[in-house]
Amino acid sequence: MVIFGDDQYENFQEDLVPPFCVHIAERFATQPFLKSRGGPPRPNVWGDPYDKLLEIRGHPPAARYLTRGLFQNDFDVAYACRPLHHEGLGHAFMNTMLYLDYDRRGWDYPIIPCHVNAYGSSLVRNRGGARHLFDDSNEDVNLPAPAPRRCLALGQVVARVLRPSPWRIVLVGSSSWSRAFLTEKHHWLYPDVSADRERFEELRAGHYTRWRDLSLEALQEAGEHELLNWVPLAGAMYELGQPPAWCDFLESYLMNSCKSAALFPPQAGG
């Protein structure tokens, strides 16, 4: 399972921020309920102890196959064979694993985390949280995220590389869309619901090129930084000619973000 997800000042900080990075490891051991950026342990719906250790299998042969294929298709990405600052998986990847195994039956499918620098200039400014709300002296380094067109192209190449591979592959986009704490025009109180509605209708109709043609500035104004984790998934579906088989959208002005979900039919032959 290839997961497109962002990093919020977990593994990538001022010393290295790649636009994209494939993680290559035999296993990923993570304590998901410890606060990764300080603060008390987080309670959880399963009642797991705060120091619970979860181990998820990686798949180095498939991860190397993907990375090599990206290079051969003129799409240069970073790759990492061990953590940099944060032990185990960042929360965008770990939360995917927690909820896919919601019934706690165990997760035995190997994963390939694929990092997308969705936060761009906000990564260092926010330190992975909401620091910008309380410290206006923190300078915005103004270094951008990869453009939506580049994220969509990544997904296209991933589909092209993995489709003839010897493995059965699942692609996952892990994120919320507009986030209240990123939406300055709403005084950081509620997400940009109308922008999310537009993105959802584009997704439902399979109009993936609408996402490709979005400007980075428009996404950031709407607080939709994390949509960049979905754009590679959309790029893969665009390459394969697949609209969603099912999708849904839950709007909210009270939660930090609206919620979106989609499923795409498997390709014939696996």
DSSP codes, 66-104 = HHHHHHHTT---EEESS-SSSSS--HHHHHHHHHHTTT-
Asked if residue 65 is part of any domain, the answer here is yes
What range does the domain containing 64 cover?
Answer: 2-263
Domain-located, residue 117: yes
Quick one: residue 6, left, alpha or beta (phi over 0 = left, psi -120 to 50 = alpha)? Answer: beta
Band of pLDDT at residue 207, cut at 50, 70 and 90? very high
Residue 69: CATH number of its domain = 3.40.830.10
SS3 annotation, 247-258: EEEECCCCCCEC
- The answer to whether residue 268 is domain-embedded is no
Give residue 137's pLDDT.
Answer: 52
pLDDT of residue 234: 98
Band (pLDDT 50/70/90 cuts) for residue 14 is confident
CB 37 within 8 A of CB 145: no
Task: Determine the Cα–Cα distance for residues 143 and 119; give it in Å rounded to an integer.
Answer: 10
Question: Can you give the pLDDT at residue 59?
Answer: 98
Q: Which tops the pLDDT comparison, 223 or 128?
A: 223
> Residue 66 domain-assigned?
yes
Q: How many domains does the chain fold into?
A: 1
d(CA 124, CA 143): 9
Which pTM value belongs to this model? 0.92
- Tell me whether residue 217 is in a domain: yes
Q: Which residue has the higher pLDDT, 178 or 87?
A: 178
Average pLDDT over residues 120-134: 66
Classify residue 10: in a domain, yes or no. yes
Q: CA torsion angle for 264, 252, 116, 262 (degrees, to 10)?
A: 0
Cβ neighbours of 251 (radius 10 Å):
16
Q: What pLDDT does 141 receive? A: 59
Mean pLDDT, the chain, integer: 90
In a domain, 156, yes or no: yes
Asked whether residue 269 is domain-assigned, the answer is: no
